[in-house]
C-alpha cells in the first residue's frame, strides 16, 4: 500500500485492477486490497457470470473471486444508476466488462452503455475515465466468443500493453493469462490475417500460464509433442532485446508428471529461442527475490537493473548538457546513481551499495518523498497530475 498515491478520499488509490480469470492464483488478496484501497476501475470478463449457475448453487470459486464478483456486480448497478441520472461515475465505481458471451442478455451487465462493454480487436487508451492516448494503449486480443463457455483458463483476458515515454520511445508487453497452445495460436493467426501484427510485437512476454508446458506441448498418443510453430510465432514478433518472464515459483530441477507449472521443459524451450529468461522468484536470486521492473526510456524498454540505471543516468547527463528534456526514468536513474541531496531527500552511494537497480530507484523515490508515507498527490496513470 505504501507505493500507492493518496486519492481524493484520503485512501490509497489504485487506478485499475484487471482480472484475467477467476483462479485463486490470479486474485488472491483482492478482498484485502479492496478493504484497504480505493480501486478506480475494475476489468472483468463475462466468464465470471457463468461461474454461477442459474439456480444459485455454489461453484468452485475462492473467497477472493467471490468478493471480486460481488464488487463487479455492485459497480455495474452503480454505473447504470449514474448514467440514468446523468451523474458522474463516483470514485471507485467504474467497471469494464471485456469479452463476448452468447448468454450476455441474461446478465445485468448487458444493459451497460457500450463504452463499458469492450470486445476483442479494439484498443483502449483510457484508465479510470482519463485518456492517455500517446502514452498508454491496451489492445484486447481475447477472450473469443467461441470460448465463452470453455474452461476457465481458456477464457483468460489477453492484452498487448504499450507504454510510451515523452520522447516517443515505447515498450510493449504481451499478456496471455493462462491460455494454452490452441487459443494463443488462434490469436496469432487472427491478428496476422487481419493485418494487426503491430499488436503482436513485444519487448516483454509474460510466459503464459506461469511457464506451463501446455503452451508449446500438446498431448498426442500419450506423449508430449513439441509444437515449434508457437515458439516461432513468439520469436517472429519479438523486438530486439526482448525478455521472457515467468511469474512463478522457482523452476524445478526436473519435471514431474501431473505437477503444476512452472515446467522446466517449457523454460528450456524459451531459453532455446530467446537470449533472456527470468523467473520472478529467482530474480535476482532464489534466496533474495526482488520485483522485476520494466522501464522505458530513450533506449527503449528494459529491465531496470544496475547497468540500465547507470546507462539511463548517463543519458540524463547528456540530455541536460544538450538542453533536452529528460524522461522520468532518466531523471530517477540519474538520482539513483548520484551521491548527495535529491529533492529534499539524501541518498548516498554507500546507502545504495548492494541494492539492485530497481531497489536503488525505489530508495531515491522514498527519499524524494521525505518519508515512507505514500505521496499526498495522485500521480501517474489513472488520475490527472
Contacts 24+ apart (CB under 8 A), 56-64: 61/22, 62/22, 62/24, 62/27, 62/28, 63/31, 64/24, 64/27, 64/28, 64/29, 64/30, 64/31
> Same domain, yes or no, for 273 and 126?
yes
Bridge partners (DSSP) of residue 20 are none
> Same domain, yes or no, for 224 and 331?
no
pLDDT in tens, the chain (385 residues): 677 889 999 999 999 999 999 999 999 999 999 999 999 999 999 998 888 754 444 568 899 999 999 999 999 999 999 999 999 999 999 999 999 888 888 899 999 999 999 999 999 999 999 999 999 999 999 999 899 888 999 999 999 999 998 888 999 999 999 999 999 999 999 999 999 999 999 999 999 999 999 999 999 999 999 999 999 999 999 999 999 999 999 999 999 989 999 999 999 999 999 999 999 999 988 998 888 888 887 777 888 776 555 555 555 566 666 666 656 555 555 554 443 333 333 344 445 555 655 565 566 556 555 555 544 444 333 333 2
> Same domain, yes or no, for 188 and 265?
yes
Strands 158-164 and 170-175: antiparallel
Does a structural domain hold residue 382? no
Does a structural domain hold residue 76? yes
The number of folded domains in the chain is 3
Q: What are phi and psi of 15, to 5 degrees?
A: -65, -45
Q: What is the pLDDT, as a whole number, of residue 298?
A: 75
> Same domain, yes or no, for 85 and 197?
no
> Same domain, yes or no, for 131 and 195?
yes
> Same domain, yes or no, for 293 and 161?
yes
Chain centroid to CA 197? 20
Sign of CA dihedral 204, 315, 310, 1: negative
First to last CA, the chain: 20
> Same domain, yes or no, for 312 and 342?
yes
> Same domain, yes or no, for 127 and 240?
yes
Cα separation, 319 vs 51, in Å, equals 53
Q: What is the pLDDT, as a whole number, of residue 102?
A: 87
Domain limits for position 357: 304-369
Q: What are phi and psi of 258, to 5 degrees?
A: 85, -5
Q: What is the pLDDT, as a whole number, of residue 148?
A: 87
Cα separation, 261 vs 281, in Å, equals 13
| Longest pairwise C-alpha distance within the chain | 69
Q: What is the pLDDT, as a whole number, of residue 127?
A: 96
> Same domain, yes or no, for 266 and 208?
yes
Q: What is the pLDDT, as a whole number, of residue 384?
A: 32
Does a structural domain hold residue 377? no
Q: What is the pLDDT, as a whole number, of residue 337?
A: 45
> Same domain, yes or no, for 190 and 315?
no
Determine the Cα angle at 137 with ends 134 and 141, to 5°: 155
Domain end: 260, 281, 303, which one?
Answer: 303
Domain end: 65, 86, 117, which one?
Answer: 117
Cα separation, 11 vs 9, in Å, equals 5
Q: Could you read off the pLDDT of 250-297 as tens digits, one per residue?
A: 999 999 989 999 999 999 999 999 999 999 999 988 998 888 888 887
> Same domain, yes or no, for 201 and 335?
no
CB 124 within 8 A of CB 116: no
Q: Is 82 exposed, middle or buried (0-12, 13-18, 19+ CB in 10 A)?
A: middle
> Same domain, yes or no, for 141 and 256?
yes
Cα separation, 262 vs 312, in Å, equals 33
Does a structural domain hold residue 272? yes
Q: What is the pLDDT, as a whole number, of residue 171?
A: 94
Amino acid at each position: 500500500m505504501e507505493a500507492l498515491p493518496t486519492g481524493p478520499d484520503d485512501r490509497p488509490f489504485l487506478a485499475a485492477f484487471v482480472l484475467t480469470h477467476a483462479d485463486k492464483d490470479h486474485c488472491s488478496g483482492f478482498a484485502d486490497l479492496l478493504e484497504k484501497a480505493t480501486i478506480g476501475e475494475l476489468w472483468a470478463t463475462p466468464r465470471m457470470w457463468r461461474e454461477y449457475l442459474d439456480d444459485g448453487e455454489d461453484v468452485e470459486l475462492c473467497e477472493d473471486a467471490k468478493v471480486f464478483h460481488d464488487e463487479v456486480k455492485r459497480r455495474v448497478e452503480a454505473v447504470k444508476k449514474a448514467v440514468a441520472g446523468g451523474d458522474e461515475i463516483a470514485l471507485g465505481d467504474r467497471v469494464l466488462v471485456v469479452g463476448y458471451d452468447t448468454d450476455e442478455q441474461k446478465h445485468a451487465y448487458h444493459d451497460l452503455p457500450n463504452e463499458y462493454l469492450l470486445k476483442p480487436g479494439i484498443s483502449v487508451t483510457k484508465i479510470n475515465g482519463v485518456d492517455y492516448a500517446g502514452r498508454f494503449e491496451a489492445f484486447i486480443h481475447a477472450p473469443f466468443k467461441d470460448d465463452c463457455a470453455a474452461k476457465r483458463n481458456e477464457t483468460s483476458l489477453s492484452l498487448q500493453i504499450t507504454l510510451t515515454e515523452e520522447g516517443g520511445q515505447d515498450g510493449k508487453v504481451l499478456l496471455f493469462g493462462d491460455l494454452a497452445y490452441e487459443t494463443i495460436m488462434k490469436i496469432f493467426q487472427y491478428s496476422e490475417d487481419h493485418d494487426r501484427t503491430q499488436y503482436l510485437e513485444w519487448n516483454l512476454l509474460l510466459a503464459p500460464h506461469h511457464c506451463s508446458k501446455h503452451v508449446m506441448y500438446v498431448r498426442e498418443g500419450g506423449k508430449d509433442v513439441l509444437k515449434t510453430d508457437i515458439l516461432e510465432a513468439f520469436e517472429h514478433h519479438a523486438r530486439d532485446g526482448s525478455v521472457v518472464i515467468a511469474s512463478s515459483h522457482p523452476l524445478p530441477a526436473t519435471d514431474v508428471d501431473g505437477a503444476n507449472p512452472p515446467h522446466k521443459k517449457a523454460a528450456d524451450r524459451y531459453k532455446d529461442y530467446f537470449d533472456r529468461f527470468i523467473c520472478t522468484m529467482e530474480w535476482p536470486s532464489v534466496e533474495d527475490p526482488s520485483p522485476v521492473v520494466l522501464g522505458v526510456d530513450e533506449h527503449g524498454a528494459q529491465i531496470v537493473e544496475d547497468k540500465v540505471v547507470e546507462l539511463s543516468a548517463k543519458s540524463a547527463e547528456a540530455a541536460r548538457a544538450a538542453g533536452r528534456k529528460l524522461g522520468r526514468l532518466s531523471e530517477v536513474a540519474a538520482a539513483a546513481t548520484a551521491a548527495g541531496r535529491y529533492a529534499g531527500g539524501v541518498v548516498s552511494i554507500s546507502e545504495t551499495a548492494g541494492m539492485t537497480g530497481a531497489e536503488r530507484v525505489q530508495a531515491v523515490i522514498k527519499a524524494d518523498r521525505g518519508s515512507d508515507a505514500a505521496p499526498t498527490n495522485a500521480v501517474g496513470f489513472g488520475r490527472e497530475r
